[in-house]
Each structure stands twice: as structure tokens, then as C-alpha cells.
Amino acid sequence: MALLKIVSGENPREIAARVLGRRENGRFIEDLLEAAMADSAMSQADRRLCQELVYGVVRWQATLDWLIARKTQDRPQKQGLQNLLRLGLYQIFWLERIPDHAVVHQAVELARRSGFGPQSGFINAVLRGYLREADSTRNTLERLKTEQPWLGYSHPEWLASRWQSRWGQTPAAALMTWNNTPPRTFARVNTLKADPGKLIEQWRDENVEYDFIRRAWFDDNVVFELKAFPPLHRLDSFRQGFFYVQDPGTLLAVRELAPAPGESILDLCAAPGGKLTYIAQLMRNEGALVAHDTAVDRVRLIAENCERLGVTCVRMLSSGPAGLAAPPVAASPAGGDLPKQFDKILVDAPCSNTGVMRRRIDLRWRVRPAELERLRRGQLALLQEAAGLLKPVGSLVYSTCSLEPEENEAVVKQFLETHGDFSLESQRELTPFADGVDGAYVARLLRRP
């Protein structure tokens, strides 16, 4: 069912309730929210509040539902009513800037406008009951983080348990805290169009506040954190392609690939193009760089990013897993025949995304243990395909944004068991609690005769 159009005058809570009520259709919450606010006349402040409410309720869903169950004797509620209670409790216990009496009043009014008028007294009673017990409830919520971490940090129990078993209670708690924190925005300088000094000078004119970011796997003045900024699409520096929004952790795979001008390189799962365009940057647009993905619309997204960033050495393909001989969907100025084999290949494999969970708001409620085995089989197949496209002497980098060993070390180990001409040169896992970036795994494999 299509989203209802949002008319001028609706407030952030109405839109938030409507978006939360449409989660069952399978679309990601970010897409639902973007569509809902597209035609809204809300101010920027109201848009930010609406996003905070939607994302906050989804992140803290397990804890909010636990609070609701305590006051309702575990009786199931209609989905719309459950969302109204979630919104009210999230504002009481997770947002400090909204007065408690206003939260209750707005929740009751929203219930009446949403078709839950007969239940408005029930909503009022639940919320006011928690206001009377606010201090003791906050203490209970803190204890939950130790006694039942999956509830205290609002994660699936199986995922919280496996992280605790692997790293211990404190690192697992730090990871779940990270996942519940809104992500920061980072920008990689695109040196094909601008040097860091030129970009910084333009940012100052555009009222962009920034900070320097340093990590061992990229040079200084390559990545900046954007602390405060106007909408990116309004910035000339963005439209002109002076930078690309990208988490610092994603640069590790490209550094391990070590691209150089004049080489032939394949990015096997290239969309949306962050790693690909960084490869082109380090190649200085010199060489043959092939971007492959299985969906035509995703390849078009790569093409759009390449055009904005001034990447001209890329040929773009869309085909099935073994169809690299298919004709290009969009030919770049690089032109020429496609290489039959490559000096280097990057396999940034589709994965469970557990390392980027704070950016994928409802991912934690979608991922299932059984998916790890299904994904592992696909990841191994991609590595095997890449091996057939690599030159007799070459390097193959395998990366994921997963934190799960089944998708990382286990895949590389199984691949090496059947490919004796490859050796493991290096592997590294980035974790939010140890490295302060999104989670990632990167392995560099070398082929020698």
C-alpha cells in the first residue's frame, strides 16, 4: 500500500506514528520516513524531531515493549496503539527536551486523531503511571543492561548473547551502545577534483563545521567529520564532487587493495561506489577499473557518483554472478575492451551488515541466525568467481561490514583450503568499541604460481 500523502499542518508525532504503522510492508524504515516527509511542510527542526522519534522507537523497540508489557499484564495491543505507547514512553525516558505533561497531552490527542479515541484514557493511564514511577523506572532500565542486556540495550537476544560470548560483557555493551547512537557524518576528500585546503576553504564559506579524523589506514587530511552543516545537496562543494560521504572504516579495504595508476582492477560488488571511487582516486584515473553489480539500478547509482566525482577510468557492468562478459550498461570515457583478467580484485561481499547496525535502523529486527549460513555460501561463491578472474600473480581483497566470524574468517579459511595457489597476506577486523568506526573485516589474499 502506498504511503498516504502528508498534508501541511501535521506534526512530527503524527507522521512518526504513521511511518511506524507501515513497517509491516517490508520496506526499510529509512525509506518509509523519507517518503513520508517528502511532501511535508514541516520545519527543519520538526523534521529532525520526527526522525528522532521514528529511529528512536525502532532502536529501542524491545525495551519499550517490555515497559508496555509491565503495565498491561502482557496483553497484546493493536499495532497502532502499541506504537502510540512506544512514542510516549520514548519521549519520557529517552528525550529530555520535551516536558512530561506535554508528552502525555500530545499522546492522548494523537490517539483521538488516529482512531483510538476510546483508548485515549488507557494511554493516559499508562503514561501517567510511568511518570509517577519515573526515577525507579530509570533505575530499573539501568539494571536491565547488566541483568538482561538484550532488553537493556534493545537487541535480539541471540545477537547480544553471541557478542557477549565472543568479546565479553563490557565490549558487547559498548557495541550495543554504539548501535543505539545516531551515526556521525564523515567526508572523504576527492583529490580528483580538490585538495584538502581547497575543500576546507569552501566549507568555511558554506558554514560547514568540521573536525580532522586520523586513522592508521589512511593519510592525514583525507577524512573529516562533519559536525554541523546545511543539507548536503545544497552545498556547492558536494554538488561539484569535492567530497564523498563515507565512514572511515570503509577505506581499509581499499588501502589493503593498494591500487596504483595503470593497473587493471575489478570491484566485483561495487554499488553504491564509495570504495570504487576511492580506488579511482588512488589510481589517479589512470588504468582500467571495472565496476560490477548485479542490478541495473545500482549500476546507474555508481554512474551518478562517478560523474559527480569526476571518475573517468571506470567501466560499469550489470549482470548475473558469472556474467562479466555482458555488455556494459553505461560506458565511461575510459572506453576500450574489458580486461580478461585483473591485477587486483576487490570482493566487498553482501553480508549481514552487523558492523553497521547503527546506520541500518531496523536491521537488528530483520537479521536471523540462519541467514549467516546462507550468506556464507554466497560469499564463498563470490571469492571463487573472483579467483577465476585474477591474473596468475595478483592480489584479492575480501571485505564485509559484518562482525560475524562465519562471514569473515570462516569464508577465507574455506576458500584457502581449496585454492592452494593463494595465501593469506593479512586480515583485520575493525570494531566500533576498539576502533571508533563502523565494523568491518578485510582480508588480503595473494596469488603466486
Active site residues: 401
In which element (H, E) is residue 442 found?
strand 440-447
- Say if CB 352 and CB 382 are below 8 A apart: no
Residue 126 CA, distance from chain mean position: 34
Residue type for 157, please? E
> Which DSSP letter does residue 388 get?
T
316, β-bridge pairs: 291, 330
DSSP 185-240: EEEEE-TTT--HHHHHHHHHHTT-EEEEE--TTS-TTSEEEEEE-S-GGG-HHHHT
Residue 15 CA, distance from chain mean position: 23
- Say if CB 423 and CB 445 are below 8 A apart: yes
Cell of 333: 570515457
DSSP 327-367: PPSB--TT-SPPPSSEEEEEEE-----GGGTTTSTTGGGT-
Closest CA to 386 of 325, 441, 344: 344
DSSP 262-323: T-EEEETT-TT-HHHHHHHHHHTT-SEEEEEES-HHHHHHHHHHHHHHT--SEEEEE--TT-
Residues in the chain: 449
Alpha-carbon gap, residue 422 to 395, rounded angstroms: 9
Alpha-carbon gap, residue 108 to 125, rounded angstroms: 10
Question: Cα dist. 397→24, 249, 400, 440 in Å?
Answer: 37, 15, 10, 13
Alpha-carbon gap, residue 284 to 288, rounded angstroms: 11
Nearest 5°: phi and psi at 190?
-95, 95
Looking from the CA of 248 toward its CB, the CA atoms found within 13 Å total 24
